Amino acid sequence: MGSSKALCSVSLLHLFIVVCLVFQCFATKNHADLTTTLTVNASDASGKPIPETLFGIFFEEINHAGAGGLWAELVSNRGFEAGGPNTPSNIDPWSIIGNESLINVETDRTSCFDRNKVALRLEVSCDSEGDNICPADGVGVYNPGFWGMNIEQGKKYKVVFYVRSTESLNLTVSLTGSNGVGNLASSVITGSALDFSNWTKVEKILVAKATDNNSRLQLTTTTKGVIWLDQVSAMPLDTYKGHGFRTDLVEMLTALKPRFIRFPGGCFVEGEWLRNAFRWKTSIGPWEERPGHFGDVWMYWTDDGLGYYEFLQLAEDLGASPIWVFNNGVSHNDQVDTSAVLPLVQEALDGIEFARGDPTSKWGSLRAAMGHPEPFDLRYVAVGNEDCGKKNYRGNYLKFYSAIKSAYPDIQIISNCDGSSRPLDHPADMYDYHVYTNANDMFSRANTFDHTSRNGPKAFVSEYAVTGKDAGTGSLLAALAEAGFLIGLEKNSDVIQMASYAPLFVNANDRRWNPDAIVFNSFQLYGTPSYWVQLFFSESSGATLLSTSLQAPSSNSLVASAITFQNSVDKKNYIRIKVVNFGTTAVNLKISLDGLEPNSLQLSGSTKTVLTSANVMDENSFSQPKKVVPIQSLLQNVEKDMNVTVPPRSFTSFDLLKQSSNLKMAGSDSSTWSSI
């Protein structure tokens, strides 16, 4: 009995040892699986040029991105046209100061502007003396702007309006708090009845005495009579380059270094119905004469102060190539037959002449009169938006293509039809590719263009974003999936000419679409994680793509690319290696740089930048605008073979300074990767 028990114990011990060894073997293997090798061919001869235009931006008038956003006009419905051409009409968001016994306000059609005839008539019953005394602060109207006007102490605001009166005029124009209390700035306009018997333009510069982010503009009087107002405007004087754009929002764009800007839509170009589509000819000329229009896709009125000319100017200010998207006779609900589309073809040709024509030409002279005698550098146009497959698109497209190529053979024409998986059945210089999907699908699309034909037109990925529950209002998860997709685009840049995220802007008071790259209100703004991802690619356009090979034994959650570029700020040469870890575990990554000359890398001056957060659904907000932003730190002991750890759910960039640059580093070891 005793010896059998001992033998049994020995056998159990042997079994325990074997089990432990097997477990250790598997554990070692699992650990090894987390070690991935990225080989980069860093020789100068092996690289391939990336298009100069690869990454840019797409602006659509959606979410009050322009009206109440990028365009710095503070007054909403400045011409009283938003209520429609029939009077009396709704004057929203204008409101009346004073009750019915003191003032009666209504619209009529007495404006001096032929294309927008509606004006505002104020019949004032009270006076500064007599039986019906006006309140001390007067009666009149006020405009709250787009969810409050941001008025800042010390800044100057140009107020312009047109006025006429049956009696002598004593009109106060002022900027006040949201409830009319607190005079931030004001000016009094006076004159005889003869002075204002006809429409008269008034301009005043108001200097703010205090700051209020939720202000309003008031026009009030204490004098009996009838006053008409029209085309009331208030603009800060410190717009970007003096061209009318909100400076802080444009600075967010300049940080991206966009090589192109696609405008003005999107569905905004199409309209639910053609009668409400954006038409370039009604958006140019003096702002007072622009009729504005109701965008029936995103359901709000725009005064079209941000018009065709301003978009071209913005492109020039950004150093970006303009890409004009025009309507091809197709909306969401109605279409122009191909047999009747030639007038719209001519309208497109006129638009190109406006942008590029000699200042003595019919439409070029109008551009010159607006202050830009030199032609704009318009080289790309898109015929419609998301219209491929609609009954008249192909026939209409061919009419536009033939006419434009005949008149302007150098212009690149973009088709709405996707040519990524099969050849187009019509001529085009580029084809449009749009993708809105969940995070997993977006990440998997990093390989979408691997098998696209290398012949024929190139792709313009003009709209991409993760949407739905994965995105929230701008999550890290969405951004990481998009980063993986963009790495795939970068690696396939031989067949991809351009790429841009959508939508670009959202006014937090009017979220028509989620998510968006940049969120703002009247005085605040922040970039979503998707915005920050785009900064990782800001040096890619015109850079050199390096060949990479990723050996990951058991993981498909990693994608990577490498480029060489000259930094546009310090003019030094770098190798940038970008890695997305879409998985939930950290990865030990061995980076091996082949083809480098000895001592090609600086021992110091290289950096690592990481975008990640504690929770993959984390978002930025006005209260925490930099909760999820890239963090940059110095990278020590840079060699041709390096072992690094890539955090889970992260986007990492390694910027390796090449030896010829002689960079001198200063400052702290860690910083937020932003100058905003």
Q: Is 198 helix (H, G, I), strand (E, B) or coil?
A: coil
Which residues have CB under 8 Å from 470's CB, separation 6+? 438, 439, 440, 477, 478, 481
Give domain status of residue 463, yes or no.
no
Range scoring the smallest mean pLDDT among 7-21, 120-134, 298-312, 415-429: 7-21
The pLDDT of residue 451 = 92
Q: At 30, which helix (H) or strand (E)?
A: helix 2-33
| Domain ranges, residue 406 | 258-415
pLDDT at 339 over 90: yes
Q: Are 651 and 673 in contact (CB under 8 A)?
A: no
Give domain status of residue 339, yes or no.
yes
Q: Are 255 and 270 in contact (CB under 8 A)?
A: no
The CATH number of whichever domain residue 592 belongs to comes to 2.60.40.1180
Give domain status of residue 355, yes or no.
yes
Range scoring the smallest mean pLDDT among 6-20, 51-65, 144-158: 6-20
Q: Is the pTM for the entire model greater than 0.85?
A: yes
pLDDT digits (tens, 9 = 90+) for 210-227: 999 999 999 999 999 999
pLDDT digits (tens, 9 = 90+) for 157-204: 999 999 999 999 999 999 999 999 999 999 999 999 999 999 999 999
Give domain status of residue 433, yes or no.
no
Which residues have CB under 8 Å from 674's CB, separation 6+? 255, 532, 535, 626, 629, 630
pLDDT digits (tens, 9 = 90+) for 441-481: 999 999 999 999 999 999 999 999 999 999 999 999 999 99
Q: Are 670 and 632 in contact (CB under 8 A)?
A: yes
The pLDDT of residue 46 = 87
Q: Nearest 10 degrees: CA dihedral of 420, 426, 427, 428? A: -40
Residue ending a domain, among 415, 441, 465, is 415
For range 24-32, the mean pLDDT: 39
Range scoring the smallest mean pLDDT among 41-50, 59-68, 270-279, 396-405: 41-50
Give domain status of residue 553, yes or no.
yes
Q: Are strands 518-520 and 505-507 parallel, antiparallel or unpaired?
A: parallel
The CATH number of whichever domain residue 316 belongs to comes to 3.20.20.80
Residue ending a domain, among 385, 415, 445, is 415
The CATH number of whichever domain residue 202 belongs to comes to 2.60.120.260
Residues 570 and 620 in one domain: yes
In angstroms, rounded to a whole number, what is the distance separating the alpha carbons of residues 61 and 300? Answer: 10
Q: Angle, to 10 degrees, between the axis of helix 247-254 and the axis of helix 308-318? A: 50
Domains held by the chain: number: 3
Residues 286 and 163 in one domain: no
> Cα-atom radius of gyration of the chain, to the nearest Å?
30
Task: Give the helix ranges, DSSP H, for 185-339.
Answer: 247-254, 267-270, 308-318
Residues 111 and 230 in one domain: yes
Q: Are 105 and 91 in contact (CB under 8 A)?
A: yes
Residues 304 and 202 in one domain: no
pLDDT at 408 over 70: yes
pLDDT digits (tens, 9 = 90+) for 484-536: 999 999 999 999 999 999 999 999 999 999 999 999 999 999 999 999 999 99
In angstroms, rounded to a whole number, what is the distance separating the alpha carbons of residues 323 and 195? Answer: 47
Q: At 398, which helix (H) or strand (E)?
A: helix 393-407
Which residues have CB under 8 Å from 655's CB, separation 6+? 574, 575, 576, 606, 607, 608, 609, 635
Tell me the pLDDT of the chain averaged across its residues: 92
For range 69-98, the mean pLDDT: 97
Q: Which of 212, 250, 233 has its CA nearest to residue 69?
A: 250
Residues 397 and 308 in one domain: yes
Q: Are 465 and 478 in contact (CB under 8 A)?
A: yes
Residues 403 and 551 in one domain: no
Q: Are 180 and 137 in contact (CB under 8 A)?
A: yes
Q: Which of 546, 594, 580, 560 has its CA nearest to residue 39?
A: 594
For range 591-595, the mean pLDDT: 95
Residues 406 and 271 in one domain: yes
Q: Is 441 helix (H, G, I), strand (E, B) or coil?
A: helix
Give domain status of residue 262, yes or no.
yes
Residues 280 and 380 in one domain: yes
Q: Are strands 139-143 and 200-207 parallel, antiparallel or unpaired?
A: unpaired
Measured in whole angstroms, the distance separating CA 60 from the mean position of its chain's CA atoms is 8
In angstroms, rounded to a whole number, what is the distance separating the alpha carbons of residues 547 and 545? Answer: 7
Residues 262 and 411 in one domain: yes
The pLDDT of residue 107 = 98
